[in-house]
Amino acid sequence: MNNFICFLRVLISYVSKHLYDTQILGDCGYRQSGTTSSCPGEPACLGRGICSGPPEYRCECESGRSGPDCALIDCPKGNSWYSLPSGENKAHGLAECSDMGLCDRSSGQCDCAEGFVGSACQYMTCPLDCNDHGECVSMSTLAQKNKVNGVLTPFTYGSDPNDPQTWDAHQIFGCVCAEGYEGHDCSQRTCPRGDDPHTQHQRNEVQQLSCSDSDDTGSFELTFRDHTASLQVTSTAADMESILEALPTIERVSVSYSDPSIYVGAAGLVADALQVCRSVGQQIDIEFLAPTGDVPELIVTNTHSDIDGILSMTTQTTGTKEYVECSGRGLCDKGTGLCECFHGYGSSDGQGGVGTRDDCGYKVPYSFDQ
């Protein structure tokens, strides 16, 4: 394709330099004999140029027109996708159809190569429109959607139009796949992830909420991987567990009071002992059962600034377990999103026990490992 375009360019260039030599355009623009007293075209230069008059009678075409009688229409130009640099920091110069299409000179429109769109073929579009399982956005927008450990961590790409390193920021497009899909065109299904049951002496992540409030009124928010849950100061540990597990980014947690003696047979048990926020202060442990690994710390927010005491989150134990595709003990079928477990491994509960996660994270007892 590229070689053909180059050949076509050479041919057009040659014709334009020899307008009055015999060629193959079939446009009657070559005078074989005799003299002429007018420029080609009816009216002269087709009204799209100025006739030079005697003795040459050449058409000086207006911008965007060319040819002996100004019948040829130039196509739009864009940054060339593959031309060689013309000098230091001078690459991707303007080219007709961005060097990724053929110019129809009768209409001035580009016939773009597959995968390229725009009046000048200046955009590289998403493959197969992301198979209807994702959003097609520019590289500049993709940079804003960047995530680190599941947390939105945007960065700027292409804000300076004069930066040669980011010339493609608004020209190349890519897919942001919907939940459950992956791959450059969002055609692949995502398989379950989990902890490798073959590794030992690893720990779950444990984070601790500290909260104190004097009047039993107010609310706060917990955010995990850009999804937020709202709780009241009077919510219990059981409430918090259910609310957190309702977030799409958390599958299972275990929420408990750091000091259980405050409510189990403790002397002078107070009415608010089961609350996550108490006037005398309270610590709540949140253990991550799925996802496992070193997860982001929960972000705690005093929603309406109506909690008058302590409100903070700290990481007590950093998670050291894996959270890998098919728990590292199976192969992912990207067509179905199902794990094909190795011999001796099956579906787990996310903590090494038998369960329904279909993640190959359960080591079947009394099996022979191959």
For residue 370, being part of any structural domain is answered with no
Tell me phi and psi for residue 334, to 5 degrees. -65, -15
Would you place residue 259 in the very low, low, confident or very high pLDDT band (cuts 50, 70, 90)? confident
pLDDT value, residue 14: 43
Same domain assignment for residues 313 and 331: no
For residue 117, being part of any structural domain is answered with no
Query: What tokens appear for 11 in the block?
Result: 């041919």
pLDDT value, residue 90: 81
| Cα–Cα distance measured from residue 117 to residue 109, given in angstroms and rounded to the nearest whole number | 12
pLDDT in tens, 323-345: 999 999 999 999 999 999 999 99
Is residue 17's pLDDT more than 50? no
Would you place residue 78 in the very low, low, confident or very high pLDDT band (cuts 50, 70, 90)? very high
Of 298, 317, 336, which residue is a domain's last?
Answer: 317
pLDDT value, residue 275: 84
For residue 87, being part of any structural domain is answered with no
- Of 10-19, 44-53, 137-146, least confident by mean pLDDT is 10-19
pLDDT value, residue 162: 83
Helix (H/G/I), strand (E/B), else coil: 54 = coil
pLDDT value, residue 367: 52
Same domain assignment for residues 339 and 277: no
Same domain assignment for residues 55 and 22: yes
Q: Tokens 């011999």 sit at which residue?
A: 343
pLDDT value, residue 4: 54
Structural domain count of the chain:
4
Would you place residue 249 in the very low, low, confident or very high pLDDT band (cuts 50, 70, 90)? very high
For residue 273, being part of any structural domain is answered with yes
Sign of CA dihedral 113, 119, 124, 130: negative
Of 160, 189, 218, which residue is a domain's last?
Answer: 189
Same domain assignment for residues 240 and 309: yes
pLDDT value, residue 10: 41
pLDDT value, residue 6: 47
Is residue 34's pLDDT more than 80? no
Is residue 263's pLDDT more than 90? no
Domain region containing 141: 125-189
Same domain assignment for residues 229 and 308: yes
Highest mean pLDDT out of 223-227, 262-266, 365-369:
223-227
Name the more confident of 217 and 122: 122
Same domain assignment for residues 311 and 332: no
Is residue 75's pLDDT more than 80? yes
For residue 175, being part of any structural domain is answered with yes
Same domain assignment for residues 332 and 271: no
For residue 368, being part of any structural domain is answered with no
Q: Tokens 């060689």 sit at which residue?
A: 84
Same domain assignment for residues 238 and 298: yes
For residue 119, being part of any structural domain is answered with no
Same domain assignment for residues 336 and 310: no
pLDDT value, residue 368: 53
pLDDT value, residue 20: 42
Name the more confident of 306 and 1: 306
pLDDT value, residue 33: 54
**11 CB contacts (<8 Å, ≥6 apart)?**
none
Q: How far is CA 285 from CA 216, 239, 294, in A?
A: 20, 13, 16
Is residue 239's pLDDT more than 60? yes
pLDDT in tens, 87-141: 887 888 899 999 999 999 999 999 999 999 999 999 999 999 999 999 999 999 9
Same domain assignment for residues 147 and 101: no
Of 162, 189, 216, which residue is a domain's last?
Answer: 189
Buried b (16+ CB within 10 A) or exposed e, 71-82: bbbebbbbbbbe
Single pTM value for the model: 0.77
- Using only the alpha carbons of the chain, give its radius of gyration: 34
Same domain assignment for residues 29 and 132: no
Average pLDDT across the chain, whole number: 88
pLDDT value, residue 18: 42
Same domain assignment for residues 217 and 276: yes
For residue 118, being part of any structural domain is answered with no
